[in-house]
Chain A
């Protein structure tokens, strides 16, 4: 799954059925970069917006003489104000994401990367600028960005659980964090708080394996994290099931609360389910105005 081309191909496939994702750009002033989306008001841009009667503060060179010639008053031609939104992605590339209970099914990491890239494809197609958190890949538009992103995403990290990097987020941009969120929650909390401080909003997508939801274990078992740094031994695994599920629910609840407090969206996706459903959710979450 580390081949960037394969990764990209999967992402393209999954993104194909979707309409262009239009991310609403909210702020103009700070990220003054022209994009393709008309803001439905006059401003900087290439497309014609309207003619309006020239006012006294308009300079003479602003007057559109062709239009003014057909009437008695002078008109000024205004263009639509166009900007491009920046979307920052963070995909957990830690070891815990490489878990997959079914040999023929995808690992969590693979599903997460495919979903992220699919979202990126959609957004790039809509003319947005997409990048990765940190300073690894600043947001840019264009097809080339996808390749670079796929190359970066196909790296796997050695750490057990990943923590989102809040750095590199442009103020008032959008963000998408994809992880299992099974590790320490404090970095997530910090990152989200920081993002909220900068006016960044977005979505948290938790990707879980069906086994992590069902906990179908019995007997004497030693549970190890994927890199083996954490371990827990039990004599009766079945006994732990209820308490494990309670903790998992608590974790989800916490993330949900956190997201709502910071104006983010939160959802859980299982690798046993179809990836399209998750992408649809991402589509909805990114499009939402707030």
Chain B
């Protein structure tokens, strides 16, 4: 970077980030050609879920936590039921678990298709939105919407509606969905699987900005499958702990200069959760279709470019369609849709892999099944420190570009994380005072 360029860019300010979920901004302060400050600002007001969950019946929790995020309500329902069932010593039947997996596949489809095509792809294709993209490449957007729609259709069959579905309960489901309604979706899922495979090929051709960051990745790992619904917490440095031990190893801290809580590992590392972390840790467990695509396209995880989270999302999308097809074909509801139990006092932790990354819940309940204490650690608050750290690496590389281009590039980096700001119940706006 040269002195003349430093004169051009004094700061990069994005007061309101577009094409992200929730309200956030970006500030990069530059002085004498050197970056002095980087903040991913969060304006999303605190909503106090952990406060008003207290005193509610555990059976109301999945309906309430769903409202944390309209894009990933299933994740909030699944981490909640995992934690509450752990607190009660209840395990669900294989049939219930399989339907939960199918519900989660549907959320991955809806959320990943949205992010790949409508939120991140415009950055890589020089468009301001999918609306402007549709004007020049309508076939891309129409295909994207069709791929997304079938995810919402599965959510509707199982949960009644796609945003805040209503069939999940602690112990299982209020009812089994009709098999015919699920099998009716198979042709569309088969079409989508083919479209998703094309999407992976397309994703390998996109002009990702250059950036290599070898960071700590954290995700759930399940012994038999690509970890989504549950598993152990593993990291790229070889750490493996149970979900119950999560809080001992992954900490949240107040950082004075920032507007939010930042997560780090016990030894101080800023870590990444989400599709890239999952792919880098568990790629061997993706299904055969995704495996053959990785072989064909020579995709060899670990991938250390955060912009390429999009590529990881496309592979997960393939896996979600393939898994949904498998689960629907094998769907054979047997026995009760819900494990009945008498509430007792207890404490439990649960986690699942939201489309954006590991989502941890912990509850303690009293003898009547009323919540005494709740704790929720959303994926975006875990990624926030990582986003800022990546920007410290990336921003100096783009400071010599025209201001608008540099701004867009930095925004793109934040967007590639698919931040879900409404999710981040811990995100707070701090009053920053000089000298603090």
Binding partners A and B: no
Residues of B within 8 A of A (CB): none
